[in-house]
């Protein structure tokens, strides 16, 4: 049996050395035209790689079984040659993987490079475990190193396999639908996306220019005396249609002409003037509200179109938004 152990060890060391040499070679390639046979063989990587994974899971379970009390443990088969099988199949997976990598298409892919190195690392771990299992004859040590070492190499395998899966299926394949709490673990560097700002479907700038900018001013300071039930000077200001009809003295405004607009004329009279609108003692308009009315008349006193479509000056916009909000 000793001869078998020696031969196995030599093969294991050779496998490790070969894989690292091949890895170094493939990582250094630029503009390499791979022979067709090599591309063909490389494509077996996804098939072969499942073998060491399966054996690894089995080995881990058995190695854990060896930690059980003696009477159970005796039922559990030894894992030494199973670890040898892992080395053999892992070598095959790594070699096929390197051939696939060297076939091209992965240049400059950090993910592919880290997957390649991860694969070699896993093979190295598997090799070390196998050698230890072969040569550590003491039952006790062999029993206790099995499970933890296999666990470590399983971890290397998982990380490397995850890189491989991300290469095939795209990054975020595993974490995309994972519960929020798991995402940072599955996808290092994952950041919770900021909640989408709640943008109202339409904002005030999309509303009708008259309704949003003009009528609210009349509503606040004029309407109590200029509405259907009480239309002083026969002037109603509760709707655009009524406003254009004008009052006793005729039209209340002239589009494009602030100077000739009667309602503005009355609004800018001194407070103590008898004709001042709104009359003294009543709620008065602000300078900004007056500016908005003037702007509206200047652009032709439109009743159609959104506020935005009439390009209101920025300083008026903030006032209108304030009135709205
Ligand atoms: C407290 C009541 C009151 C308020 C508020 C008021 N008005 Fe008057 N308004 C009157 C009265 C009364 C008349 C009729 C007598 C006159 O022409 O002075 C009148 C007449 C007018 C006329 C003349 C109508 C015409 O054809 O002769 C205009 C224009 C007018 N108001 C504009 C306004 C505007 C603009 C506002 C708001 C900024 C306003 N008023 C707020 C009481 C008011």
Residue pLDDT, tens place only, 87-103: 999 999 999 999 999 98
Q: Would you call 236 exposed, middle or buried from its count of C-beta atoms within 10 A (0-12, 13-18, 19+)?
A: buried
The single residue listed with the structure tokens 């509303």 is 207
For ligand 1, say whether the CB of 274 is within 6 Å of any of its atoms: no
Residue 226 Cα to ligand 1 middle (Å): 7
The single residue listed with the structure tokens 């009708």 is 208
For ligand 1, say whether the CB of 224 is within 6 Å of any of its atoms: yes
Q: If you average pLDDT over every residue of the chain, what do you get?
A: 89
Q: What's the token pair of residue 81?
A: 């040659």
What is the pLDDT, as a whole number, of residue 199? 62
Q: Which residues of the chain have pLDDT under 70?
A: 197-201, 322-325
Q: Would you call 224 exposed, middle or buried from its count of C-beta atoms within 10 A (0-12, 13-18, 19+)?
A: middle
Q: How far is CA 80 from CA 53, 120, 169, in A?
A: 16, 20, 35
CA–CA distance, 130 with 145 (Å, rounded to integer): 11
Mutate to test the pocket of ligand 1, among 251, 261, 266 (most ligand atoms within 8 A of CB): 266
CA–CA distance, 224 with 5 (Å, rounded to integer): 105
Residue with the nearest Cα to atom 10 of ligand 1?
232
Point out the ligand 1 atom lying closest to the alpha carbon of residue 283.
5
Residue pLDDT, tens place only, 55-99: 999 999 998 998 888 888 888 888 889 999 999 999 999 999 999
CA–CA distance, 127 with 134 (Å, rounded to integer): 10
The single residue listed with the structure tokens 């509503």 is 219
Q: How far is CA 275 from the centre of its chain?
A: 63
């Amino acid at each position: 049996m000793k001869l078998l152990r020696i031969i196995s060890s030599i093969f294991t060391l050779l496998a490790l050395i070969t894989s690292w040499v091949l890895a170094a070679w493939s990582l250094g390639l630029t503009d390499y035209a791979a022979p067709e046979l090599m591309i063909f063989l490389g494509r077996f990587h996804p098939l072969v790689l499942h073998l060491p994974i399966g054996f690894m899971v089995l080995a881990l379970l058995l190695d854990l079984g060896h930690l059980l009390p003696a009477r159970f443990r005796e039922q559990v088969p030894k894992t030494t040659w199973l670890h040898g099988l892992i080395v053999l199949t892992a070598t095959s997976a790594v070699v096929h993987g390197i051939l696939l990598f060297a076939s091209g298409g992965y240049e400059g892919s950090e993910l592919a490079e880290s997957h390649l190195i991860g694969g070699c690392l896993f093979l190295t771990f598997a090799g070390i475990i196998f050698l230890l299992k072969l040569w550590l004859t003491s039952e006790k040590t062999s029993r206790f190193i099995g499970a933890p070492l296999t666990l470590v190499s399983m971890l290397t395998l998982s990380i490397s396999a995850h890189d491989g899966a991300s290469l095939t299926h795209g990054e975020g394949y595993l974490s995309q639908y994972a519960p929020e709490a798991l995402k940072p673990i599955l996808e290092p560097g994952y950041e919770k996306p900021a909640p989408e700002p709640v943008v109202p479907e339409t904002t005030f700038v999309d509303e009708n220019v008259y309704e949003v900018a003009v009528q609210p001013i009349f509503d606040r300071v004029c309407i109590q005396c200029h509405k259907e039930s009480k239309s002083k000077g026969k002037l109603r200001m509760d709707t655009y249609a009524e406003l254009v009809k004008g009052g006793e003295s005729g039209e209340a405004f002239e589009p494009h002409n602030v100077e000739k607009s009667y309602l503005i004329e009355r609004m800018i009279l001194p407070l103590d003037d008898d004709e001042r609108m709104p009359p003294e003692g009543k709620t008065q308009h602000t300078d900004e509200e007056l500016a908005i009315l003037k702007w509206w008349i200047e652009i032709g006193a439109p009743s159609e179109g959104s506020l935005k479509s009439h390009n209101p000056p920025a300083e008026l916009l903030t006032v209108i938004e304030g009135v709205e909000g």
